[in-house]
Amino acid sequence: MTTLMAILIGTFYAAAIYMMLRRSVVKLVIGLILLSNAANLLIFTVAGLERGIPPLIPKGQDVIAGAAADPLAQAVILTSIVIGFGVLAFAVVLIHRACEVVQTDDMNEMKGTD
Amino acid sequence: MKPRRFNMRSLILNTGSTLLLPLLVLFSLFLLLRGHDEPGGGFIGGLVAAAAVALKLFAEDYKAARDMLRVHPLQLVGVGLVLAALASLPALLVGQSFFTAQWWLVDLPIFGELKLSTPLLFDIGVFLGVIGTVLTVVFTLAEAEHS
Amino acid sequence: MDLEVLVALPIIIPLLLGAISLTVLSNHNAQRWIGAVGTALLLISSIALLFQTKDHGIQVLEVGSWPAPFGIVLVSDMLGAIMVVLACITGFATALYSLKTVRKRFERFGYYPLLHLLLAGVNGAFLTGDIFNLYVWFEVLLVASFALLILGGERAQMEGAIKYVTLNLLSSALFLTAIGLTYGLVGTLNMADIAVKLGSVDDQKMVTVIGSLFLIAFAIKAAAFPLFFWLPASYHTPQVAVSAIFAGLLTKVGVYALYRVFTLIFTADTGFTHEILLWIAILTMLTGVLGAAAQFEIRRILSFHIISQIGYMILGLALFTPLAIIGGVFYIMHHIIVKANLFLVAGLIYRLRGSFELKKLGGLYKDHPGLAILFLIPALSLAGVPPLSGFFAKFILIKAGVEASAWWAVGVALLVGLLTLFSMIKIWNEAFWKGTPEPAPAIPAPTRNALLYWTIGILAAMTVAIGIFAQPIYVMAEMAAHQLLNPSIYIEAVLGGQTP
């Protein structure tokens, strides 16, 4: 399973970088989305793919019964999903505005500041 | 090519949204208050509430959604952040480390025990902040279509 | 117990200020007052933190009373405290400068809340002791900087912003990947705890791989060679006050992260990582200064010089001797103030003459001798002319380079200093010395520039002061370097003796 995930994550990274290297701004956005998802999947995988119960202590007890999932990795992923969502939402608004102002979606024509 | 108009008005969506709106808002509050010990919380509650306003936007128009919210979404973010930041301070008054959770139990005559806490205050702040942030983005995009 | 809260104040104050300014978004006066008075308060609190750290050692605050390494800790060691003070000085100067230069339209868009948020993010990054929390603060300051960058919405800003956003998001993704791999290896996110546990990992090659990932991620943020090109493409486009705070602070957050990670965590294989850092430093110095030589727009020249100066700071880390680290820290202190000030001067030049292009400028010395002096101080300091702050910074670094027999680095550092002087003299000759070009630009000179002069003057006075009173500053840099080179002090402060 871990091997499968590793291949999947690798594909994600590769696809993301490939998309970011294209000239279209829309593909750039897709690349960014894939990239943040790849990182999240990676954290999910390295924290250990095991079957465990949710890391919540049942009412009236002091310890978790049995093997539980790692809550820290989940918290980290949740946080980074939220941050990624926020940053990407902003990036999309920005790129939308940029396309309107520059009147093109071709990265090769955005050379005014180089 | 004519720019596409932002027009998705349909009778079904319109009628449906009037019924769904109060439910969504109630559900978001439910999620917010449930959040401390069980799945739920300010973030997911805020998303549901923002979805309610976004539904209004799709069912009617930009203006109706803005009117429904009454305040500028960025002001909601501001209030939310103030609340969340204030939640860190009560711990200092009782000499504990910054951001330590404080709990106050209030006995209400009929309903029984009410648990108030700084995490709740923080969660309400997150709730407002999320509504504000999501709606700022949604409104900015809708405005671009609108004009 | 009570004074521990000082560690949190540099984060919580700007957050509160930003939030309050958001709620009064349409009240311009309130926003300006909150901006100026609030950042002054922030500066005072940061200075208090610096003295507390200097006198009583590393300050640690366990947020929410969750003990380290399980909760998030805020740690203020000398490097962190110094950086926070510098950030607050820049923030205060920018807020003052903004009072007169930022248009109402931008204030309504949320200029001040974004400024506060940026400061909160920067201070958070300097103070956190948790690697994932560092990522979160990076993103906070990144989002704020995105929005500040495009205020105004001109074509150049949009084009610059796309490059800025893309490269910085790529760097964040690499950073997150590195955090994920670290967590998979040692199962903790607390930096001190990571430093302890990485030593006992069997697969030391993997540790080096992760270190390299961090290196790439932070090098992009710091605008080091070869991934620096987003900086000159974007830094000259926004409002001048924004350019100043970006130039002063943002890349230095990347440099700070490099210093933190490569002195505390990845010190096992210095022969590999710090050798790479050394070559990055040399090439960064060289490309930056050569890029600047080809430019004829003040802000673009200054932007390229940021890159070459970043090279010096990384050089300090790469040499990895006590003297070199002292030099690096000293360099950061000197650079932040000088660079922010130079951008503010450029903004005042634009206000007086309506252009940043050297060809269209001229005669400023005749018309505004005061401004000319105020330009010369930071400009000569940047080039390293004694007795200004830049001289001591370069001197310490080059001495460290000689002691370490890093002749290439020493040679390049000297050459780059010379070329920097050439660049500054170019601006001086073109903008200040030569006659006013014909036809004279018909810009009605805006009055009431006193506040702007004062802001620039205060920063220039600091530059002089760092040069004249170099000894106390050197002592602080020495303390910072001592703590950096002995990670056990940091680890002890965070993990040891903390039993609740």
Secondary structure in 3-state letters for C75-105: EECHHHHHHHHHHHHHHHHHHHHHHHHCCHH
Residue C200: per-residue pLDDT: 86
Whether the CB of C165 is below 8 Å from some CB of chain A: the reply is: yes
Residue C500: per-residue pLDDT: 38
List beta partners, residue A6: none
Closest partner CB to B133 (pick from A86, A96, A100) = A86
Find the residue in C nearest to B136 (Cα): C109
Q: Which residues of B touch C65 (CB under 8 A)?
A: 91, 96-97, 99-100
The model's pLDDT over C58-96, given as tens digits with 9 standing for 90+, comes to: 998 888 888 878 889 999 999 999 999 999 999 999 999
pLDDT at residue A67 greater than cutoff 80: no
Write out residues in chain B with pLDDT < 70, as ranges: 1-9, 145-147
Give the confidence band of C98 by pLDDT, cuts at 50, 70, 90. very high
Closest-CA distance of chain B to residue A44, Å: 20
Mutate to test the interface with A, among B38, B137, B146 (most CBs of A within 10 A): B137
User: CB of B87 within 8 A of CB of B67?
Assistant: no
pLDDT at residue C145 greater than cutoff 90: yes
Range of the domain at C351: 269-468
User: Following DSSP, what letter does each residue of B52-80 receive, concatenated?
Assistant: HHHHHHHHS-HHHHHHHH-S-HHHHHHHH
Domains and CATH numbers, chain A: 2-51+69-109 (1.10.287)
Q: Does residue C186 lie within any of the structural domains?
A: no
Q: Does residue C276 lie within any of the structural domains?
A: yes
Domains in chain C: how many in total?
1
List beta partners, residue C62: C73
The model's pLDDT over C157-207, given as tens digits with 9 standing for 90+, comes to: 888 888 899 999 999 999 999 999 999 999 899 999 999 998 888 888 889
Q: Which residues of C touch A39 (CB under 8 A)?
A: 173, 176-177, 180
User: CB of C361 within 8 A of CB of C348?
Assistant: no
Closest partner CB to C25 (pick from B75, B80, B82) = B75
Residue at token pair 């100043």: C244
What whole-number percentage of chain C has pLDDT above 90?
Answer: 62
Distances (CA, A) of C428 to C92, C337, C382: 27, 20, 13
Give the confidence band of A85 by pLDDT, cuts at 50, 70, 90. confident
Residue C248 to residue A112: CA distance in whole angstroms: 24
Residue B147: per-residue pLDDT: 62
C19–B72 CB contact, under 8 Å: no
Q: In the predicted model, what is the mean pLDDT of residues C133-146?
A: 93
Residue C445: per-residue pLDDT: 61
Residue C44: per-residue pLDDT: 95
Residue C1: per-residue pLDDT: 46
Two structure tokens written together for C17: 């200020």
B141–A86 CB contact, under 8 Å: no
- Collect all residues with Cβ–Cβ distance below 8 Å to C94 and sequence separation of at least 6: C39, C115, C241, C242, C244, C245, C340
Residue C332 to residue C338: CA distance in whole angstroms: 10
User: CB of C395 within 8 A of CB of C334?
Assistant: no
Residue C413: per-residue pLDDT: 93
AA identity, residue C260: R
Q: Does residue C455 lie within any of the structural domains?
A: yes
| Pairwise pLDDT comparison (C287 vs B41), residue with the higher score | C287
Q: Does residue C34 lie within any of the structural domains?
A: no
Two structure tokens written together for C351: 């206000």
B74–C22 CB contact, under 8 Å: yes
What is the DSSP secondary structure assignment for residue C440, as one 8-state letter? P
Residue B146: per-residue pLDDT: 65
Class of residue B109 by CB neighbours under 10 A (exposed 0-12, middle 13-18, buried 19+) = exposed
Residue A74: per-residue pLDDT: 86
Reported residue count of chain A is: 114
Q: Does residue C117 lie within any of the structural domains?
A: no
Q: At what angle do helices C131-149 and C155-186 cross, to 10 degrees?
A: 170
Q: Does residue C125 lie within any of the structural domains?
A: no
- Listed residue (C119, C122, C77) closest to C476, CA to CA: C77
- Collect all residues with Cβ–Cβ distance below 8 Å to C120 and sequence separation of at least 6: C11, C14, C15, C18, C140, C141
The model's pLDDT over C215-241, given as tens digits with 9 standing for 90+, comes to: 999 999 999 988 898 999 899 889 899
Residue C438: per-residue pLDDT: 66
AA identity, residue C486: N
CB pairs under 8 A between A and C: 106
The model's pLDDT over C409-456, given as tens digits with 9 standing for 90+, comes to: 999 999 999 999 999 999 999 888 888 776 655 566 666 788 889 999
If contacts are CB pairs under 8 Å, which of residues 56-85 in chain C contact chain B? 61-65
Residue C304 to residue C288: CA distance in whole angstroms: 5
What is the DSSP secondary structure assignment for residue C73, as one 8-state letter? E
Continuous H helices in C296-448: 298-319, 322-353, 364-367, 369-383, 389-403, 407-427
Q: Which residues of C touch B79 (CB under 8 A)?
A: 19, 23
Find the residue in C nearest to A103 (Cα): C155
Residue B79 to residue B86: CA distance in whole angstroms: 10
User: CB of C392 within 8 A of CB of C467?
Assistant: yes
Q: Does residue C119 lie within any of the structural domains?
A: no
Pairing label, strands C73-76, C59-62: antiparallel
Distances (CA, A) of C80 to C5, C131, C149, C273: 15, 14, 26, 23
C287 alpha carbon, distance to own chain's centre: 19
Q: Does residue C440 lie within any of the structural domains?
A: yes
- Range with lowest mean pLDDT among A60-64, C287-291, C476-480: A60-64
AA identity, residue C219: A
User: CB of C353 within 8 A of CB of C360?
Assistant: yes
B85–C110 CB contact, under 8 Å: no
Closest-CA distance of chain B to residue A11, Å: 30
Q: In the predicted model, what is the mean pLDDT of residues C142-155?
A: 88
Distances (CA, A) of C170 to A113, C132, C256: 20, 16, 19
